[in-house]
Structure 1
Amino acid sequence: MKLSMKSSKPVPEDRRMLAAGLTMAAEMITENAADSLRDGRWSDAVADLAEAARRTQVILHEAIERALAEGETFETLANDAHLSPEYLRQAYEQFDRGTPAQSGPDQHGREPWRVLG
């Protein structure tokens, strides 16, 4: 799966990096994890999906960071994503880039990023 950033003007380096990260996460899901699932290699599928989720979480955090720097607000970002602004702000502020993806709250009761829609 290729993600395209077609545009008539040059795309800034930071956006190209985000797109490259999305492409890598998408390929982990559509190629690696899908092959593992078809072959019944559950451990490999789970590992690939967890890593793709972690990479997506990092990209989500970076995208919000850049949007905020360009004048967006948690309210507008959350509204467009069908999230509460409070949830989005809390998830953004508590995100730890070094923590791997997890499926539930950590030992302190904090939730990791979740892709909701």
Structure 2
Amino acid sequence: MEVKINREIRDYTESLFFGLSMRQFIFSLLAVGVAVGIYFGLRNVIGTETVSWVCILGAFPFAAMGFIRYHGMTAEQFLWAYLKSEFLLPKKLTFHPTNMYYEALKQTMQNKESEEWKRHD
């Protein structure tokens, strides 16, 4: 008998419905609901083929929110981090280069210059 254990314990998700986690299942239902709503709302307005593409495009963001993780963050955690970094707490980062070689030898160069001035006087 073999028991499979994730290498990282934090990556464990419990399967509840159809092998999906609760989060994935809820967002899948939401995506299906959006697609059905779009279909019944637009089937008499535009053609069947166009409605099918609009349903796919309308359901995709909801389905993606349930399944996609970026740097260990869920979709809403990523969106909140993006909003904070770009709009709520933006910082203007400036780069000020330092010549470490010059800084290390600055004192030596100043001493040398003062010695040259003394010799010229």
TM over 0.5: no
Larger radius of gyration: 2
TM-score by length of 2: 0.32
TM-score by length of 1: 0.33
